[in-house]
Amino acid sequence: MSSNREHFGSRSAVIMAMAGSAIGLGNIWRFPYMTGEYGGAAFILIYIACTLILSLPIFLSEVVIGRRTHSNAIGAMKQLAPGSGWRVLGYLSVVTPMIIVSYYSIVGGWSIEYFLKSFSLGFGEFTPSGWTALAFDTIFLALSCGIVALGVKSGIEKFSKMSIPVLFLLIIIILVYSVNMPGAGAGIDYLVKPDLSKVTGKTFAFAMGQSFYSLSLGMGIIITYSSYVNKEENVIAMGLGTAIADLMFAILAGFAIMPAVFSAGIKPSAGPGLIFQTLPFVFTEMGAGVKWISVAVSALFLLTVIVAAMTSSVSTIEVGVAYLVEEKKIERKKACLLVFILTWLLGLACALSIKVFGMVDAFASNFLLTIGALLVVLFVGWKMKRKDVRDEITNGGTRNTGAFPVIYFLIRFVAPLAVLMIFISNLLLR
């Protein structure tokens, strides 16, 4: 590890940054709907089981690669498997996040646009693509790259440490407002009532896929972030802390969203329709009667979406920037500018056509992410030496030694099969 390489300042900083990456649009626009549609409390229990059995082992595999090498994703694979075909994993881990952020930032752009519109009291038609979408996409992407340009500690760490508490505070304010709307009880029932008749094979596949996406796995992010983590850090505690923050936010988002939706007598849904049309309408039109309060809640909700999306896009951008800085010796600010230009160009077609957007999203999240995660667990479980993996997860045999055999088993046998299952169900069910 070169001595001038940056690193996170403390354990809480690492967890804030990783939670920032994890907490994103997935928590707000997909988790609440999935919970309601696939069994309420039963879904949440299955989700927790999937996180422990599948997502944490993948998470830890990425940590093994990143922290062992203290290097960007491509550099890490060059160190661990020099000259071999496994380098593909490094390249994939840098290309996938660039593709993802190119359209994720368009959604970030919509949230800025709607945040501004919420003050003019008119949301109008939702137009997902076109020149306006492109303009706001540019603003969102530029802001995200700007944060990364400030560095790991003064940019990403500072931004995450500030954003995570703010996100929790905002979502709790909205929750209090939402559960006090008339008829909110139906929304609470929708989320918590365990309904076993809704638990099918699909429930497991969706819970697995959602947990995996929500923790930002399979796209080099955890490899890159954990390369900034020191050797003393307890990596299992780090993974659990991130997963717990992510799940807590997802559940709070459910209680902030569904009671309002049911109170307005609207059918629950997922995706952009929910957060850019239904909810702003519900909050402003069906609200407390006092106009400025309902407008404020609507604006605060959209602000939550902006910040949640930005802590995620920042983590995605860092993957490419770390690569350019370390492997290509490009200065950080210039690397950020380069990533900005590349991802902006990549996202052009998505910003101008919602059809292309849908196709690229499906390809990246269903295909690239799962292949990335599959290669990660195969590499750590089957190619790396057991001793090296143990060394990393137990910090040289000083902690987590009892848990290691279980984790290693999950990495080798359970995770690859589960990722394959997600891959197949993505093909069949969506």
The residue written with tokens 């299955």 in the block is: 46
What is the distance between the alpha carbons of residues 350 and 105, in angstroms, rounded to a whole number? 10
Could you tell me the smallest distance in angstroms from the CB atom of residue 131 to ligand PFF? Answer: 23
Dihedral sign, Cα of residue 311, residue 315, residue 318, residue 320: negative
What gap in Å lies between CA 55 and CA 422, rounded to an integer? 12
Task: Report the candidate in 93, 80, 24 with the shortest Cα–Cα distance to residue 374.
Answer: 93
Determine if 227 is a binding residue for ligand PFF (CB under 6 A).
no
Rule CB under 6 A: say whether 44 interacts with ligand PFF.
no
Q: Which of 312, 370, 394, 425 binds ligand PFF (CB under 6 A)?
A: 312
Which pairs with CB-CB distance under 8 Å and at least 24 residues apart come from 158-161?
A: 159/20, 159/310, 159/311, 159/314, 160/13, 160/16, 160/17, 160/19, 160/20, 160/311, 160/314, 161/12, 161/13, 161/16
Asked whether position 167 contacts ligand PFF by CB under 6 A, the answer is no
Smallest gap, in angstroms, from Cβ of residue 313 to ligand PFF? 5
Q: Quick one: 119 exposed, middle or buried, by C-beta within 10 A (0-12, 13-18, 19+)?
A: exposed
Query: In whole angstroms, how close is the CB of 414 to ligand PFF at the nearest point?
Result: 22
Residues of this chain, 168-187, that bind ligand PFF according to CB under 6 A: none
With DSSP H G I counted as helix, E B as strand and the rest as coil, what are the percentages for the chain, rounded to 5? Answer: 80, 0, 20
313 binds ligand PFF (CB under 6 A): yes
Alpha-carbon distance of 386 to 43, in angstroms, equals: 34
Tell me which of 69, 71, 111, 214 binds ligand PFF, using CB under 6 A: 214
| 139 in Cβ contact with 109 (< 8 Å) | yes
* Helices 369-378 and 87-119, axial angle in degrees (round to 10): 140
Q: How far is the CB of 394 from ligand PFF (least distance, A)?
A: 27
Cα atoms in the Cβ-side hemisphere of radius 13 Å centred on 19: 29
> Should residue 209 be labelled a site residue for ligand PFF when binding is judged by CB under 6 A?
no
Exactly one of 316, 343, 394, 425 binds ligand PFF (CB under 6 A); that residue is 316
Measured from the CB of residue 422, what is the shortest distance to ligand PFF in angstroms?
15
CB of 379 to ligand PFF, least distance (A): 21
Q: Which residue has the tokens 């490009």?
A: 330
Q: Which is nearer to ligand PFF, 362 or 406 (CB)?
A: 362
- Any contact of residue 347 with ligand PFF (CB under 6 A)? no
Candidate segments 24-32, 170-178, 228-236, 401-409, binder of ligand PFF by CB under 6 A: 24-32
Does position 26 interact with ligand PFF (CB under 6 A)? The reply is yes
Least distance from C-beta 355 to ligand PFF, angstroms?
20
By beta-carbon proximity to ligand PFF, the closer residue of 101 and 247 is 101
Q: Does 213 bind ligand PFF (CB under 6 A)?
A: yes
**According to the binding rule CB under 6 A, does residue 100 interact with ligand PFF?**
yes
Judge residue 398's burial from the number of C-beta atoms within 10 Å of its C-beta, 0-12 exposed, 13-18 middle, 19 or more buried.
Answer: exposed
Binding flag, residue 104, ligand PFF (CB under 6 A) = yes
Tell me the backbone φ, ψ of residue 418, rounded to 5 degrees. -65, -40
Which range touches ligand PFF (CB under 6 A), out of 96-104, 186-194, 345-353, 368-376?
96-104
Nearer Cβ to ligand PFF (22/199) = 22
Instruction: Mark the segment that binds ligand PFF (CB under 6 A) among 185-193, 208-216, 321-329, 420-428.
Output: 208-216
Q: Does 208 bind ligand PFF (CB under 6 A)?
A: no
Phi, psi of 40 (to 5 degrees): 60, -130
Nearer to ligand PFF, 189 or 361 (CB): 361
On whether the CB atoms of residues 334 and 390 are closer than 8 A, the answer is no
Residue 223 near ligand PFF by CB under 6 A: no
Establish if 21 lies at the interface with ligand PFF (CB under 6 A).
yes
Any contact of residue 216 with ligand PFF (CB under 6 A)? yes
Stretch of residues binding ligand PFF (CB under 6 A), selected from 7-15, 21-29, 62-70, 422-430: 21-29
- Does 25 interact with ligand PFF (rule: CB under 6 A)? yes
Of 205 and 217, CB closest to ligand PFF: 217
> How many residues of this chain bind ligand PFF (CB under 6 A)?
16
Helix (H), strand (E) at residue 276: none
In angstroms, rounded to a whole number, what is the distance separating the alpha carbons of residues 69 and 48? 30
- Report which DSSP code applies to 234: -
Binding site for ligand PFF (CB under 6 A): 21-22, 24-27, 100-101, 104, 213-214, 216, 312-313, 315-316
